[in-house]
Structure 1
């Protein structure tokens, strides 16, 4: 924490967030708090916490490794702005998770075998079985997320970065999440659906506007009739 005070170029809420993360850090400088936990500690909303975390990442003072913490939690590492991020100690003890190209991360590199085939067009049967084995229903995935102490979407920076980039209001994303959640948790036609990466599935739902909740009008996004109805249903449920 003393290093944050001494070296950070930030002030105000950004500095407060760095200090909060430092307070959670272990001896190797790693921290695994959920966005909601950081928001509560800093006395702010989850949305503001996400925005501040994005600013800290962009400033290179915070490194976020998605899903590399215990039970798939995000891992945070405060970088020294004068030296950059320090290498993690005992990194072999961490469980590495494969991420999709769409999320902006590559799968961990593996040592090449002496008998590696040049033809890589067809995945092995073992790899196919492993891919199928990690697929979960929405209910199963939610249980895993809750066990990690995270929130399903609040901790998924990829979707928020995408929406900020195109100017899609956060309120619209939250409406899409409610429709997405209800479909896969309550609709008998979809409850049995399985995905290996439910967050990526939700990102696709936002990108392709699966629920037809909004449309673009010039530089702005507006709610469709379906979107307005979803908003009314949300207010009625509060």
Structure 2
């Protein structure tokens, strides 16, 4: 465990491939709240009531009111120093940087990152509840009543393009393929409590990959990391990747 003031830049060789996983702590630095920091609540909403398939079929109006609030919050938030540092790093490394995020906001993209993998979906995209083949699409709509929820051409209701609890994360085949190729793994702002993302570091360690964690608090899987920098991602990443 090191203080960010005591660590120099992380050296990335010409043949290195860096896998980066960002979690809710990175978005929290831009003012976006997290369920974990609020005892399982987000502005009074329980996870079970707004972020599960069961919640959707029980009360789709309440689910959309919750995501309408999240969309408003997301639009008001600004990328922070961590997002900007990773965007600069992508400019330098190109496709040797694989940026995977557990966050559903678009702050990485707004900071300039071009290749972001959103394993838990995207806040400003929607899709048909019936998985009818239309696919997901860009959507900034604010739906706060049952009558306002759009319908797909097939008749199904339009739901947020979010991976809810109990659903399978997206792009897992590609993610594990990149974990097999990477030579370095960096996790920033993730609590280590949500699987399968919490297991990425163990997967990498079995391959002998050097692993780094950046965050102000130790994650639940802290023992798996070869190096830990106890600081906010905004404070540390600019120093680690100048």
TM-score normalized by the length of structure 2: 0.24
Structure ranking higher in strand proportion: 2
TM-score normalized by the length of structure 1: 0.24
More RCO (CA 8 Å, sep 6+): 2
Structure ranking higher in helix proportion: 1
